[in-house]
Copies of this chain bind each other. A is one copy, B any other.
């Protein structure tokens, strides 16, 4: 397994599952965490793909993540439930939460679940798309440790606080999975190592002043450039739903993802919502509306030399290509996989 080799998605899935089980994680953790990461890697969201495996294994061994969590319903009222994830890897509680939200939306037209005592859950879109595959609109919010300044702020205040929304549509779902920061922090790290200049208005120095020098970048900017108050407010929506509503930690109170403390549970919240279109309008009307929206969008006039795509379209293209050809891993991930394969006695993922 080198940078020059393509690895098959099936082999990556196999390796992740074996590694989780080998460190003593239970079957649900291995399954949920692998599915979430494979959503990221399959769709080209590599920042939230299998590169996270070594991190999660370290957190399971350290005790930050519970190897044998027993998630349970901790409250609820009508179309709302609260689940306690028992300090599981983040995908465990959020997949459970979305499964319940979909069931609640079947009973009440809409269902919301707040998940307590979770942790980093990978790609937000992995959970929203569960709802779309079940014929519903899904929304996922989760805050994270602070990296992003406020508009005119000079402090790492919000996490990259993603918003994911998915809706059933002809062919593949409509899928939005966006950070409320302009860019992810790992892009800053990448540009540092490559010596590349950052785009304008995406990162700031320690005084909150925009910088294009990746080495001076201390925090990210909220999405929106000079209208960054909109991006910061959207991060606030995520904060209110995922942390305040669940009684979990605000971004600036969450232990840093990268440690050094890998023993203490991070007490993160997440929020999922499922909306059943059938409660609002005949399914044929909903489907016709989505079809007209998507078709008009994909065939609309575009800037010369550009291409207009619906949210998710780029991802489905990547997924098709990777399912056929496999995926090339980055050097850091290859090194991490190699270390853990040696330690756990596993065979590395093959072509």
Contacts and interface: CB of A to CB of B under 8 A. Distances in A.
A100 to B, nearest CB: 13
Contacts of A310: 236
Number of copies: 2
Given A230-B178, A289-B244, A151 B223 contact: no
Interface in A142-156: 150-155
A239 interface: yes
B280 A246 contact: yes
A255 B123 CA distance: 39
B182 A227 contact: yes
Contacts of A229: 311
Interface stretch (A1-9, A76-84, A85-93): A76-84
A286 B167 contact: no
B77 A108 contact: yes
A303 B109 contact: no
A114 interface: yes
Contact of A275 (B208, B236, B245, B281): B245
Given A209-B303, A285-B247, A303-B154, A237 B176 contact: yes
Contact of A233 (B176, B182, B302): B176
Given A79-B79, A279-B80, A302 B208 contact: yes
A137 B240 contact: yes
Interface string A202-235: 0000011100000000000001111101110110
B154 A301 contact: yes
Given A110-B112, A223-B227, A250-B292, A150 B308 contact: yes
A143 to B, nearest CB: 10
A82 B234 CA distance: 27
Interface in A165-194: 165, 167, 174, 176, 178, 182-183
Interface residues of A, number: 82
Chain A binding surface SS class: mixed
B280 A80 contact: yes
Given A280-B245, A303-B207, A201 B225 contact: yes
Given A199-B226, A236-B311, A153 B301 contact: yes
Nearest to A282: B247
A324 interface: no
A114 B280 contact: yes
A237 B165 contact: yes
B112 A109 contact: yes
A243 B282 CA distance: 13
Interface of A: 75-80, 82, 107-112, 114, 137, 150-155, 157, 165, 167, 174, 176, 178, 182-183, 199, 201, 207-209, 223-227, 229-231, 233-234, 236-237, 239-241, 243-247, 250, 252, 275-282, 285-286, 289-290, 292-293, 296-297, 300-304, 306-308, 310-311
20 contacts: A76-B279, A77-B278, A77-B279, A78-B79, A78-B110, A80-B108, A80-B276, A80-B279, A114-B280, A152-B308, A153-B308, A165-B233, A165-B237, A176-B236, A223-B230, A236-B310, A236-B311, A241-B275, A244-B289, A244-B290
Given A114-B281, A241-B275, 8 more contacts: A78-B108, A223-B224, A234-B234, A236-B293, A236-B310, A244-B290, A244-B293, A247-B281
